[in-house]
Structure 1
Amino acid sequence: MILYGSELAAKLHEGMKETIEQIKASNQRIPCLSVILVGDNPASQSYVKSKANACHKIGLENRTIRLAGDISQEELEKVIQEENENPNVDGILVQLPLPEGLNEQRALLAVSPDKDVDGLHPMNAGALLLDRPGFLPCTAKGVMAILKEAGYDDLTGKKAVVMGRSSLVGKPLALLLQQKNATVTVVHSKTVNAKEICKEADILIAAIGKAGFVTADYVRPGAVVIDVGINRVEGKLKGDVDFDSVEPLASIITPVPKGVGPMTVCMLLDNTIEAWKKHEGIA
């Protein structure tokens, strides 16, 4: 079965739209996402536009703050602080990458943890590590939603292999899979016998940033294969998984595009609504 994240996202968007309509009907403040875009990176501009469109579709308020690429670190952090203090803003996202000369970690640290809907602040990362409530990184949260949709909510007895150890995807995913009782192995560039380890997985998640790297000889027949990779090859988006060779083996597989990507944006909206509930004292 090919599981399209775009279809799941559309279904979840309908639920979010209903929530926003109920908020409007009760004359409450509408949840608001503030996106800070620095510079004129074409890919970043495209991502920000897609997030704004997603907000519009469900009725979520969206602010896009565009800053010059030569802004100083102090000026950027001042803008972030202004959004932290804005009572009408629930979620803040600093679009990465930042232009050369700006410190991304400092910028992310400047975002208030209770508005960090990207789930990248150390306090939210620590909350995940300690299994406490906090905002989850959107891509990792989206992968877990896909697994739940596929009937893999309780992962007791399942072997899960995560390919990649990034703070954005690999590390949080490993923790979330453990919380669902999976036995988790993280494979990375320094792993010995990675192919053999991957072939033992009931659930294989590829997040390494290498187009078509995962071929059929990495996959156990009947495995669930989640492709997080987004690589541009000759003008087309390609995943980390060689779809044509792996799809016949997998019981469930996500494609690229229309797989995990739409779920990342969907979970950003979900986190923003959750932030609004917390700010309004509802959750």
Structure 2
Amino acid sequence: MSQARLMDGTALARRIVEDAAKRAAALTDRSGAAPCLATVLVGEDPASVTYVRMKQNRCRRAGITSRHVALPAATTTEELVGTLEALSADPGVHGILLQHPVGEHIDERAAFEAIAPEKDVDGVTFASFATMSFGLPGFVSCTPGGIMRLLDEYDVDPAGKRAVVVGRSAILGKPAGMLLLARDATVTYCHSRTRDLSSVVREADIVVAAVGRPRLVRGQDIKPGAVVIDAGYNAGNVGDVDFDSAVERASLITPVPGGVGPMTIATLLEQTVDAAERQLRVA
């Protein structure tokens, strides 16, 4: 069997951002207000600082105003909730991103729920998960949303296929499975307590690795011809899939970096423009 074809998230993300930029410019011309994304960062974790800076740079390129709120590491849950509620009430802010994870002393779920659903462009609230699960208008979690766009770009129809999601986080694994289910895939969730993980993965036509453990999914676990989506990112540019062995068995596979990562940011920017259009009532 020949090597898998790479799913180029960088190229697709570029097109999505270009389209979002055109819509942002048109919205600014018609309403006089540019879409605005507020980013909130607690502490100075180097990786989080880098991610936020990257998102701010992409905002500028897309004609989206970026407002950054930097809070000290000692910020309490109450203080963070207050900040997010104030941004939710600010008509000049159209989307809110709380960079996570936050400190262990903070109730992250309480912080997420302080974000108004209409500004939850990162898709992290209960309301966003519910609307996504029921197929109603709202915002999807950005990484799962980006994964679905990649599948569409490469003509992968999940209908009738067996999909295995390795990981069950509230903003990645669980919503990825729900989006696949909505597209008529038969979905199995796996996690740290799954017995004989390899045998479950081996049945999958579509594998989504989103557990945060480097090279957990091995090539020998991949069904020949399966589509492999690696949503993991670990130190050293290593994903949750052992790429070198998996590429020999899959039909399509995402690289790390350059696969799912760019799609996450592109989806965030696109949903920020969506939010601004809805709030400014300009279609």
Instruction: Give the alignment's TM-score, normalised by structure 2.
Output: 0.94
Quick check: 84-93 or 101-110, which moved more?
A: 101-110
Change (3 A) 1:108 1:27: closer
Match of residue 250 from structure 2: 250
For residue 23 of structure 1, report the CA deviation from its aligned partner: 2.1
* Structure 2 counterparts to residues 36-115 of structure 1, below 5 A: 36-115=40-119
For residue 128 of structure 1, report the CA deviation from its aligned partner: 2.1
Q: Match for 1:121 among 112, 125, 132?
A: 125
Quick check: 16-25 or 102-111, which moved more?
A: 16-25
Q: Which amino acid aligns with 2:59?
A: C
For residue 3 of structure 1, report the CA deviation from its aligned partner: 1.1
Greater relative contact order (CA < 8 Å, ≥ 6 in sequence): 2
Match of residue 31 from structure 1: 35
Quick check: 23-32 or 54-63, which moved more?
A: 23-32
Q: Match for 2:189 among 186, 193, 213?
A: 186
For residue 263 of structure 1, report the CA deviation from its aligned partner: 0.8
Match of residue 137 from structure 2: 133
**In structure 1, the residue corresponding to 2:6 is in which secondary structure?**
coil
Q: Distance in 2 between matches of 1:271 and 1:47?
A: 18
**In structure 1, the residue corresponding to 2:237 is in which secondary structure?**
strand
**In structure 2, the residue corresponding to 1:24 is in which secondary structure?**
helix
Quick check: 154-163 or 214-223, which moved more?
A: 154-163
| Offset from partner CA, 1:51-104 (integer Å, 9 cap, x none) | 101101111111011112223333222221221111110001111122342221
Q: Does 1:142 align with 2:146?
A: yes
For residue 27 of structure 1, report the CA deviation from its aligned partner: 4.7
Give the share of equivalent positions with the same residue, in percent: 41
Q: Distance in 2 between matches of 1:158 and 1:198?
A: 13
Q: Match for 2:225 among 206, 222, 225?
A: 222
Q: Does 1:277 align with 2:277?
A: yes
| Offset from partner CA, 1:154-191 (integer Å, 9 cap, x none) | 32221111111111111111110011111111122222
Unaligned ranges ≥5, structure 2: none
Q: Does 1:164 align with 2:182?
A: no
Q: Distance in 2 between matches of 1:18 and 1:36?
A: 26
Provide runs of 4+ in structure 1 moved above 4 Å. Answer: none
Unaligned ranges ≥5, structure 1: none
**In structure 2, the residue corresponding to 1:62 is in which secondary structure?**
strand
